[in-house]
Chain A
Amino acid sequence: MFRYSIFLLVLVMALGPADLQAQQQEDSVSMKYMLEPVDISCGRFIYLPAADIQTFDSKFLSEHPSEQLSTLLSDYANVNIRSYGYSGLTNVSLRGAGSNHTAVLWNGFNIQDPMNGGVNFILFPLYFVDEVQVQKGGSSALFGSGAMGGVISLNNKLSFDKGINAGLYASYGSFENYKGGLSLNLSGRKAVFQIKTFAGSGKNDFPFVNTEQFGRPEMRQQNAAIKQWGFSQENAFLIGKRQKLSTHLWYVKANRELPPNMAQVSSEKSQLDESLRASAEWQYRITTGSVNVRSGLFFNKLRYSDTENDFMALHRNMQSISEAELKLQPFDRRDHLNLGLNFSYEKAQSDQYAGAPERTRTALFASYILRLIPKISLKLSARDEYVDEHFTPPVYSFGAETDFFGPFSFFAKYSTNYRIPTFNDLYWRGGMAKGNPDLSDESSWNSELGMNFAWDKKSKRVLTVHSSAFYSRFTNLIQWLPEMGIWTPVNRKEVLSRGVESRLVYNWFHRDWLFKSVVSYSWVHSTLEKKASNEPDEVLHKQLILTPEHQGNIQLKLRYKVWSFVYSQNIVGKQYVTSDHTDSLSAYTLGNIALAYEKTGGAFPWSIRFRWNNIWNTVYQTMPGYAMPLQNYELIVSIKFSSKPIKERKGKI
């Protein structure tokens, strides 16, 4: 399949060079310059180099209502996904960092789990999200603990003056996967009300050849069923000309069986996840900026059970996060100053903790964009946090951007970052393991150089190219080691991560035709530089396990009037399973096809989409021994109701 990939890449490159032009309007998966000074949810990204951020907008997401967030990130953002089977647990990793080194923002709140530092992606149905942004590289100065490898931001965006909008989608996929969702949005001049609900279930008993068992039997995946549902309710109000109040409420519940490794013949493991998130935001515009205050409450519950081995564990946690920001443009419309205060409270309960540990966190942060001359901007950020009774190391970031050279622009960034230990690191007890309350914070520094090329020929032929190279060092990383027969965490490891990321988007418009191609590639060389005392010397300076050095995506889209066809190819390089590289997972590449008929306009726009995944029947694994499905299909029907905007209906609401 690598030959196909290279062929496709060459084809795309051959189509591109004649016409180079930049555009954003049709590019729903685009690199955006975000200069909206009063956008609460993503406003802080403006203090990073703009080309650093990849955005998936609501139009793009509406074409993928039933998809999992982790699949989207893997298919379109070159994010490294580690999945324990089709319905199993999924972790993400950015730029060779650990899975708990990715901050996940929900409407601006960093909601990494205080117990394990991760985020359960199954609890973020794409149907509820209006915008996904991926920012790679350290940005703790802006987003706090954990933002060492990058940030994934999920936003809800409510618009005023859109009238009445309702939507419904239903999908049926292979292995008895049923999904559906409903939405209602009432949008007036001063108020917006939105409610969404979704439900889904799947048996996921896909066939596969178990190459790890005697006789290589053809089997069906067992213990892989999943059921989930959720609802969201959101409101926004304009109060006078200066104030905006918005609220967000999400509830998601997922019950899933955890499939066995191919080397095991059965599993009776399952996991129930439940999440409730509620937040309110108040924004007040002043002459030269705005004041933003927001507060959120987050409840998570996880119940893991293994009936085969008579084991059950219940974990619950709660976070309260409050933040106040003052955003100013003191001297010029292009200068931005942001001053902020964050106060968080976290509490957890688990059979594996003695009591219910809790902690308070207070952080001060500030950012500034300075335009020395019109085409050069400097971006500075700093943050310090007080956690219980100690200050974390102060962190900062420095970025510079210039667009002196016609279609070319360049940026540079340097940041220092940190992650505080999780409750598991500090307080775990049980299963021959014990947390260490004396742990220090992890830290890292990250440097990056990048280039953008944007070329637009009368908006008919458009090309954007983004390339960057990064170099990062992670120190004091927490590692669990055996000590007197008990596993306990210590600050020990050091990791050096460097690499190159490139992305090319080419669009060609002609009358009713659109051809669009996206090619992205990343090379991440992430190596262990300081090992634990019990590890052999052979692990030093070697690529980290389960971190592919090479990863790439190719998407080709052809649209004619209401019809569209998309072919995508994802490429994931070889991944080592053992730290001395004696064992590995093979590289793989997946081909997917999507065919859509989309009727836009009118009061009832509707669409029907057909997705054919893994068309080349690639046998692959993202975690060793966990089978993944071969060819599979999904049919998605969606219909919307859209009234005219209120301003055209004169006083009906």
Chain B
Amino acid sequence: MSTKPDIPDERRRAILAGAAAAGVSLGLPTGPAFAVDGFDRFMARSEALTGVKPLDRTIGRSLYKLLNANGQVDYLTGYRPAGRSPAGRNEQVEISIISAWYSGVVSTAGDHRLATYQDALMWQQLDFTTPSGLCGGDLGFWSNPPKA
């Protein structure tokens, strides 16, 4: 389960910035995991993992929310916390983040939630075609290799 307080990211960032400036403690967990805003950290990690930069922040918010709902927040915000991560969990989280960006869907134990379809990275990266369900072009375009 998440230990993150239920505070919107923007609001929390402001609080943290203010807290740092004032040098006061809000009772939040301290240390590297929470020194930087969770969403920004998520986006940075996502760009590093997916190999695509910049990633869309609106889609990122949806994915971040869905991934957090899966109870993975500790691993997203406190990425690779030293000594606290069971073996293999970081890798699983990385694969979850990559899968979510490429497919546009967050899947956990048979539960599938869609953040985006047409703008999923799979279609952006498969620049030789269009998302399944949308017209790809005139009759017969599929007969030849895609135009470079």
- State yes or no: do A and B come from one complex: no
| B-to-A contact residues, CB < 8 Å | none
| A-to-B contact residues, CB < 8 Å | none
